[in-house]
Amino acid sequence: MTKTKIEIEPLARVEGHGGIKVEIKDNVIKDVQVKILEGPRLFETLVIGKTPEEDLSLVPRICAICNLSHKYASLRALEKALDIKVPAVTQTYRQLMHHGEMLESHSLHLYFLALPDFFGYDNAVAMAEKFGEVVQNALALKKFGNKIMRLMGGRMIHGENPVLGGFGKLPSRESLLELKEEALHHLDFAMATIDILAGLEVPDYLERDTQFICLKPPHGEYDYYGDILLASDGKEYPLEDYKKVIIERTVSHSFAKRSAYNDRPFTVGAIARVLNLGDRLKGKAKEAYDKLVNERWYRNPIYNNFAQAIEQVFSLEDVVRIVDELLTAEIPKIVKPPRGSGTGTGGVEAPRGTLIHHYTIENGVTVDADYITPTAMFLDDIEAFIRKSGETLLAKNEMDGIELKLEMVARAYDPCISCSAHLVTVDFE
């Protein structure tokens, strides 16, 4: 029987509640909708009238997975607004904090949400019977990411230790040495994962051209923060101009906004970072890059799973580098704000992609705020790749199991639906 509609709801193994709807008429794809079913959460409105310190406590609640990324982006924006200049060593501690979230989130998505698709299992628990060692090592790697987050954040989720101008408490020398030892231990498994992925067959039914955007780090190395938007067409834009570069709009079938660059969909996330910045990788991360990356990455978002594996290697190596640097560094003091009014835009790379926070502060309280999350940036691209997948599979009459193939496209982006569903402006008159 010819299908006229495909509905996938809820979309499984993603963060939050979403669905996919595909309408087919006369064997032609008529409409594709990735539906964000969670209600708006109004965070931009919630922070109005609050102090910058209160903003920092509120915004991590946007997402339990990316809570430190939201804290980090907010810190970078608010410190610009209040003209706070933190010392370089404070920035290094923040990089360590962020690596914890990257390792926790990437390991969760790669091994427990995406890899079961490649191995032919419904979930990681079922996968454990044959791939028990992989699952056990993945759990240990995720736990290590959680450990860094708890150490630097003060607790694992919604930590209050990162504050304006610094940290409330810094880790001891013994704690740092422990992190270094554990990072070196997990590096072997992270590299073994690269070999596992190199042997997997990646489907080609979804391939089409797209664009990639990420933040350009302020130094010549690979990293997860910056003040310049770097696009795959080679163009660079000051982060403060993000509203001119990333054009948002609303759609009737979703609570999340949509975004376009050059009037076309684009991708952010690990694959965008690796493709735009991969020539900066060194050490074993460079070995992983050379082993996995090929021209198909530019047309196939399923390789985002592979890019996350490369970033796991990068983060583990960088934890070792950072610990060595911090062991000989002076303890930084918290920098107090020299002014109470100003405007600032902060950007970091959350695990799922570029995350932007913008604030205007007047006389010590917030009068305007704007957040753009990675999922709100790449939802249009997910729909475009699902449409291409449907067209290819229809043309080949390969409709058996099409639901799983379409889910794999959405899942590859590692969408954070909870993050995306707060982007609604409320005007009071």
Q: What is the 3-state secondary structure (H, E, C) of the chain?
A: CCCCEEEECCCCCCECCEEEEEEEECCEEEEEEEEECCCCCCHHHHCCCCCHHHHHHHHHHHCCCCHHHHHHHHHHHHHHHCCCCCCHHHHHHHHHHHHHHHHHHHHHHHHHHHHHHHHCCCCHHHHCCCCHHHHHHHHHHHHHHHHHHHHHHCCCCCCCCEECCEECCCCCHHHHHHHHHHHHHHHHHHHHHHHHHHCCCCCCCCCCCCCEEEEECCCCCCCCECCEEEECCCCEEEHHHHHHHCEEECCCCCCCCEEEECCECCECCHHHHHHHHHHHCCHHHHHHHHHHCCHHHHHCHHHHHHHHHHHHHHHHHHHHHHHHHHHCCCCCCCCCCCCCCEEEEEEEEECCEEEEEEEEEECCEEEEEEEECHHHHHHHHHHHHHHHHHHHHHHCCCCCCHHHHHHHHHHHCCCEHHHHCCCCCCCCC
The tokens for 19 are 């669905």
Give me the mean pLDDT over the 165-189 stretch. Answer: 98
CB atoms within 10 A of CB 387: 19
Query: What is the CA 319 to chain-centroid distance, rounded?
Result: 19
pLDDT at 426: 29
Residues 141-154 pLDDT 10s: 999 999 999 999 99
pLDDT at 419: 58
pLDDT at 63: 84
Q: Please report how many Cα atoms fall inside a 13 Å half-sphere around the Cα of residue 153, on the Cβ side.
A: 27
The tokens for 178 are 């422990």
Residues 55-94 pLDDT 10s: 999 999 988 788 999 999 999 999 999 999 999 999 999 9
Give me the mean pLDDT over the 23-39 stretch. Answer: 80
pLDDT at 26 over 70: yes
pLDDT at 39 over 70: no
Kindly tell me the burial class for residue 357, based on how many C-beta atoms sit within 10 Å of its own C-beta (0-12, 13-18, 19 or more).
buried
pLDDT at 51 over 90: yes
pLDDT at 423 over 60: no
Cis amide linkage into residue 162, ω under 30° from 0: no
pTM of the predicted structure, to 2 decimals: 0.93
pLDDT at 425: 35
pLDDT at 62: 87
Residues 151-171 pLDDT 10s: 999 988 888 999 999 999 999
pLDDT at 193: 98
Residues 397-406 pLDDT 10s: 888 888 888 8
User: CA-to-CA distance for 284 and 275, rounded, in angstroms?
Assistant: 17
Give the least confident one: 10-14, 202-206, 219-223.
10-14
> 16 pLDDT band (50/70/90 cuts)?
low
Mean pLDDT, the chain, integer? 92
Nearest to 200 by CA among 114, 112, 101: 114
With a pLDDT cut of 90, the percent of the chain lying above it is 76
Residues 339-371 pLDDT 10s: 999 999 999 999 999 999 999 999 999 999 999
Handedness of CA 334, 214, 50, 338 (dihedral sign): positive
pLDDT at 13: 64
pLDDT at 135: 96
pLDDT at 402: 86
pLDDT at 415 over 50: yes
